[in-house]
Structure 1
Amino acid sequence: MTTTAHRRRRRGRDADADVQGAADGARGNRGTIRATPWPVALVLAVAGGLAAWLAFPPYDLWFLLPIALAALDAAILVRRAALAGLLGLIWGFAFFLPLSQWANIYAGLAPWAALAVVEGLFFALYALLARAVLIRRGVGLSGSLVVACLWAGVEALRSHVPWGGLPWGASAFALQHSPLLNLGPWIGTAGLAAVVALVAQLLLAGALALLGRRPGRRALRGLWPVGTAAFVVLACLVVPSPPNPRVEGDSTMRIAGIQGNTPRIAAQDLTMPDEIFPHSLELTSQAAADARADAEPLDLVVWPEGSAGWDLEHDPAGAAAVTAAAADVQAPLLVGTQTPGPDETRYNMSLLWTAEGTVAQSYAKRHPVPFGEYIPARGLIRHLSDKVDLVSRDMLPGDRVGVMDVDGRRVGVLICFEIAYENLVQDTVDAGADVIVVQTNTALFGDSDEAAQQLAEARVFAVVSGRSVVQVATVGESAIITPDGRDLARTGHWVPGTVTADVPLYAGITPAMAAGPWIAIALGALGAAGLLLSLPRRARVLAARPVPSRRTR
């Protein structure tokens, strides 16, 4: 006879029922894994987010990223979809808050936390989508492929919306020292995101089998997905680079990057110290003397973003000093300045300044940073934080790709965070750039990890684009990086210095650059299609099994 207490105990056991696992081979046999209890899921979400942060510079523990993502995927295997979404948000918050600590310098605690929450919402979206697939398809090959595509698709979405998106913390930027980066020129950043997510799924499948409660040899089946994940990573060591011919004729360009350095800026003060201009002039004079002594003339001298002060073209004293510096070094200077726009706005400019005192070419930053260089919905945001007035003049975007002709060599120009956007790198290469120069002002981010993170982005895109990248910062880190990820020259942080090298020029178009946005679009479409095809399937989360009613005697 079934008593009321017995029925309650049985329902309690059923409430902890298994989530069906992946198909075990062509015969369709299925194993089971237990639904993740919510306290364990919470620990996995927090620990996974923190592990993802440690995968990025300056820690560079890249191998933690697939482990962190596997922890997220395990965490979302809970009974309720709403809880899975919350756990995704928690994972994203634990990841993005420490990763973006530099935002606290700009805006203060509340906007910094708000940024982490907004970015965390994308991870919540991924958690909901991935869970919907996993509870229907299981942690098998088909489910893993769909989830990997969903991760790449959501990451691409995060990189473009809202307000142009923020790809900071994209999976590829943790891979600057990983064998997986060898895939970069073939599949781009979206493809790298999918590969990381697929490795994470393999680790998850292995862990669930190895830690499962199934007895005997069946648990040993968890070894093959873990072994496959290790094989994928190791196999990337021998992935060849695509053909990338050097430019015809003189295939190098001697470039000097000037890191003038400044005193440290007070917290949340967006005003650049005046010392950057004379420091840059002094180092340029030294670079000119070194070039004469070594009998190695320079082709281009690069100053960082914001190094030439405000509206250099209408500053007679500053313009004369830059002209004299260009004449001394016998090469044009690429200087960073800001110029006024209409109605109390401004442009972030890169000017190619000649020894004749003329501006031969110019480039206006195309992707100003929301909340850093302009305030979207200023009136609304003011109700959330009075820090909006630290950005007193909104920055307008330029409308032309930055490729300049320097004595017959084509120099692509990006400013600061623009190096994080694959579409901006893409159209710079498409416009004929033989080398990419990145001017950035890292002084505004203090002692945070922003400089190291941005340099990793430059290194990744040197490999993905097949172009040498010359990144020049106000206070560091500046470097000249080849398409195989090597440093030809590099400076430290908070030190004056110059990076100089014969920079190789390349003309090849990598498959990633040739494909443009279509890799991300294709992966996102495959993920969406896999999700839609999964929804009609019966969810494999077992609710409490009904108990046949019996009369109690």
Structure 2
Amino acid sequence: MVDTQTPAAPAAPSAQPGQPRPLPLWAALLTAAAAGGAMLAAFPPYGLWWAAPIAVALLALAVHRRRLRAGLGLGFVTGLLFFTPLLSWTNLHTGAVPWLLLSVMEALYLGLLGAAGAWLSPLLDRRDLRCNAGGWAWPVAVAALWTGQEWLRSRTPFGGFPWGRVAFSQDTSPLLRLAAAGGAPLVTFAVTLIGALLGYAVLRGAGVGPDPRRAVPPLTAVVAALAVAGLAQLVPLAKPAGKAVYIAVVQGNVPRLGLDFNAQRRAVLDNHVNATIALGDRVKAGTARRPDLVVWPENASDIDPLRNPDAGQLIDRAADAVGAPILVGAVLYSPETGVENAGLVFNPGRELGDPVQKYVKRHPVPFAETMPLRSIARLVSKEVDRVTDMTAGSRPGVLSVGPATVGDVICFEVAYDDIVRDTVDGGGQLIAVQTNNATFDEAEARQQLAMVRLRAVEHGRDALMASTVGISAFAYPTGATSGETQFNTPAVVLAELHLSNRRTLATRLGAVPEYVLTGLAVAGLAAATWVRRRRRPVVEEES
């Protein structure tokens, strides 16, 4: 809307005394683009976590006092320059079209965020002009909007795609410990609140002028941003104090990377079998300690070991050689259940045909493990018909593996709050993420490891990531890691982890923080609507 008191065709929009003018459109575009680049820099493999709040501040400055359509466009620019390079690993073997479509779809959510941010402008502009005070609801609402945007993006469409949540950029940040209190949503809110406070300081500082009293609000905002970071350090981190278990993670590697990594399915299985038997030989020779359990990655056996006796016998042989149960990532084929992506427990001494514990992946990845809108998708990529629709499981991945109750999560499931939480609520004493990165690259693997680190802190559980090609590693509730492997390199890594039955505040609260913060975003939009209808004080850009 344009204020009715404004001249019909002004050279530039006017502003009330002490209020900064909106950025010129060219400057707003550059600022929005810089926001996308800064957010990208915060994520692995770059890992400049402090760039995330800067990105939030830049986008807030770009859209402030803009019309909705301008905010939408500027947010979309930010999203496009963030998601397109962040998700570049999706085009390594499927071509550019699916990658660009996914990037555009994800960028649209930041477009909506930009429009919503523009709508919030009256919350900042409505203030006491004599001392440049007021508007403190604005940074809180901006941060809540980021959290609400992630809530929506994690659920829509086709079950959502949470990759690129702000919280997942904070794996080496002091703010990571907030995950123990409110999970990923609270981490996102804290990071974006700091960014919004920095934006508030800039906008308030632009109207300081000669009156020293006007410097108080921007300085207060900077102090508040530092206080948020400081308060995060008061959140206690869980320390698993249960039984110690010695765990081996086998990264067997694949004959070649790419979509046809499993064309030599027997070779992939043999790699994991042989590496485990070699570990067993070292144990027998007294040069290695016997593990209590062994974890193989997703797709370690794409030959169904429950229906193919040869594959089953190979895994049994490996379990007998190492003298420990193996959590195997396998693809199962059955006329009754179809194709399933599963974690199976093979115990030493198992007889052929004996039942095994099984967890079936509950969230097959759309357009990768299941194909919605197949006839339409076929027009986009010729690779569509290589995708077989997998059957989704219905039960949390809680498995007894030797002395431990393992919370099993398969690949991209680690990005979904509820799926990981269910395994802990179901009794998981440690978190195991079985994944296959053979169709991606090291950047994707490091982004995934950042999520594992957050989950370890969030639930106070020691955790591990087992990958076919890397990166495999152990993660701890402090946010630290150990045993990180090289990408595309065979490896066996071992570590002593501790079991835990304690539940952090984040585990107990579940989705409550996310719903509260999303509700706060809705309240902020409602408040901005009320101010617009009552006073209409903001003069906005025509473009």
Does TM-score exceed 0.5, indicating one fold? yes
Give the structure 1 partner of residue 327 of structure 2. Answer: 334
Pairing 1:173-192 to 2, within 5 Å after superposition = 173-192=168-187
Give the structure 2 partner of residue 524 of structure 1. Answer: 518
Q: 2:89 aligns with which of 102, 117, 121?
A: 102
SS at match of 1:118: helix
Give the structure 2 partner of residue 500 of structure 1. Answer: 494
Q: Distance in 2 between matches of 1:140 and 1:345?
A: 57
Q: Does 1:535 align with 2:529?
A: yes
Q: 1:282 aligns with which of 274, 285, 297?
A: 274
- Identity of matched residues, %: 36
Q: Does 1:65 align with 2:52?
A: yes
Q: 1:164 aligns with which of 133, 155, 159?
A: 159
Give the structure 1 partner of residue 117 of structure 2. Answer: 130
Q: Does 1:463 align with 2:450?
A: no
Pairing 1:441-460 to 2, within 5 Å after superposition = 441-445=436-440, 447-460=441-454
SS at match of 2:104: helix
How far off is 1:384 after superposition? 3.0
Give the structure 1 partner of residue 483 of structure 2. Answer: 489
Pairing 1:245-284 to 2, within 5 Å after superposition = 246-247=241-242, 251-266=243-258, 268-269=259-260, 271=262, 273-274=264-265, 275-284=267-276
Q: Distance in 2 between matches of 1:197 and 1:543?
A: 24
SS at match of 2:120: helix
How far off is 1:310 after superposition? 2.2
Q: Distance in 2 between matches of 1:284 and 1:79?
A: 60
SS at match of 1:490: coil
Q: Distance in 1 between matches of 2:200 and 2:455?
A: 32
How far off is 1:502 after superposition? 1.4
SS at match of 2:408: strand
Q: Distance in 1 between matches of 2:240 and 2:498?
A: 10
Pair 1:272–1:141, CA change in 2 (3 A): farther
Give the structure 2 partner of residue 33 of structure 1. Answer: 20
Q: 2:303 aligns with which of 299, 310, 331?
A: 310
Pair 1:179–1:512, CA change in 2 (3 A): same
Pairing 1:13-412 to 2, within 5 Å after superposition = 15-18=12-15, 31-138=18-125, 140-212=135-207, 214-215=209-210, 217=212, 220-221=215-216, 222-236=218-232, 238-241=233-236, 246-247=241-242, 251-266=243-258, 268-269=259-260, 271=262, 273-274=264-265, 275-292=267-284, 293-294=286-287, 296-342=289-335, 345-355=338-348, 356-357=350-351, 358-391=354-387, 393-412=388-407
Q: Distance in 2 between matches of 1:344 and 1:406?
A: 24
8 Å Cα contact 1:405-1:411 kept in structure 2: yes
How far off is 1:494 after superposition? 1.4
Q: CA-to-partner distance for each residue in 1:264-301, whole Å, 9 max, x for gaps? A: 324x5464544322221221122223334157332111
How far off is 1:340 after superposition? 1.9
Pair 1:243–1:449, CA change in 2 (3 A): closer
Q: Distance in 2 between matches of 1:282 and 1:370?
A: 33
Q: CA-to-partner distance for each residue in 1:473-501, whole Å, 9 max, x for gaps? A: 01111011111122242211111111211
Q: Distance in 2 between matches of 1:124 and 1:183?
A: 27
How far off is 1:70 after superposition? 0.9
Read off the aligned partner of 2:72 and give its amino acid letter: G
SS at match of 1:34: coil
Q: TM-score if structure 2 supplies the norm length?
A: 0.90
SS at match of 2:342: strand
Q: Distance in 2 between matches of 1:414 and 1:79?
A: 43
8 Å Cα contact 1:491-1:497 kept in structure 2: yes
8 Å Cα contact 2:296-2:327 kept in structure 1: yes
SS at match of 2:438: helix
8 Å Cα contact 2:293-2:402 kept in structure 1: no
Read off the aligned partner of 2:229 and give its amino acid letter: V
In terms of mean alpha carbon deviation, does 531-540 or 63-72 score higher? 531-540
Q: CA-to-partner distance for each residue in 1:435-477, whole Å, 9 max, x for gaps? A: 11111101111x3511010011101111011111111001111
How far off is 1:233 after superposition? 2.1
Q: Distance in 1 between matches of 2:210 and 2:317?
A: 80
How far off is 1:217 after superposition? 3.4
Q: Distance in 2 between matches of 1:31 and 1:168?
A: 40
Give the structure 1 partner of residue 131 of structure 2. Answer: none
8 Å Cα contact 2:237-2:477 kept in structure 1: no
Q: Distance in 1 between matches of 2:344 and 2:158?
A: 26
Read off the aligned partner of 1:314 and give its amino acid letter: R
Read off the aligned partner of 1:415 and give its amino acid letter: I
8 Å Cα contact 2:62-2:74 kept in structure 1: yes
8 Å Cα contact 2:280-2:322 kept in structure 1: yes
How far off is 1:11 after superposition? 6.2
Q: Distance in 2 between matches of 1:243 and 1:467?
A: 8
8 Å Cα contact 1:265-1:272 kept in structure 2: no
SS at match of 1:15: coil
SS at match of 2:224: helix
Large movers: runs of 4+ above 6 Å = none
Q: Distance in 2 between matches of 1:95 and 1:510?
A: 32
Q: 2:472 aligns with which of 478, 500, 507?
A: 478
How far off is 1:39 after superposition? 0.7
Residue-pair matches, total: 519
Q: CA-to-partner distance for each residue in 1:62-115, whole Å, 9 max, x for gaps? A: 000010111111111253210110111111111111111111125321111110
SS at match of 2:200: helix
How far off is 1:129 after superposition? 1.7
8 Å Cα contact 1:38-1:78 kept in structure 2: no
8 Å Cα contact 1:106-1:372 kept in structure 2: no
Q: Distance in 2 between matches of 1:412 and 1:101?
A: 30
8 Å Cα contact 2:178-2:187 kept in structure 1: yes
Pairing 1:509-520 to 2, within 5 Å after superposition = 509-520=503-514
8 Å Cα contact 2:208-2:215 kept in structure 1: no
Q: Distance in 2 between matches of 1:341 and 1:53?
A: 42
Q: Distance in 1 between matches of 2:20 and 2:280?
A: 67
